[in-house]
Amino acid sequence: MAKKKLNSILKGTFLISEDSFKNWRLIIFLSFLAIVMIASSHSADSKVHEIARLTEEVKEYRSILVEGRKKFMELKMESSISNKLKEKGISASDAPPKKIIVKSQN
């Protein structure tokens, strides 16, 4: 009995017999599931790569930002500005600026 069943499986009778359609249905369905599974696993992998790439990019932009800020900080520092303007004979005023505020305007 058991030997007969094994033989029929090996011969593939369940694929070609008269009522094989219901077996095929299941086989196709299972293959479809397998394809979906493989595809989603691949898309997950590619997302991981994408995330890694983007993280790298964020890091790069961060470095650019910090480098730019560093340069900017150096440039905007009063000491560096006054150093640059010294050549032109311009120096910081000793007197404070005056702010005039107009309280009401009719």
Q: Note the residues at the interface with another protein (CB under 8 A).
A: 44-45, 48-49, 52, 59-60, 62-64, 66-67, 69-70, 73-74, 77-79, 92-106
Minimum CB distance to another protein, residue 10 (Å): 24
Nearer to another protein, 13 or 55 (CB): 55
Euclidean distance between CA atoms 71 and 45, whole angstroms: 39
Nearer to another protein, 11 or 86 (CB): 86
Contact of 23 with 14, CB cutoff 8 Å: yes
Task: Count CB-CB contacts under 10 A for residue 27.
Answer: 13
Nearer to another protein, 26 or 102 (CB): 102
Minimum CB distance to another protein, residue 51 (Å): 9
H or E, element range at 50: helix 20-76
Minimum CB distance to another protein, residue 19 (Å): 39
Contact of 18 with 26, CB cutoff 8 Å: no
N residues, the chain: 106
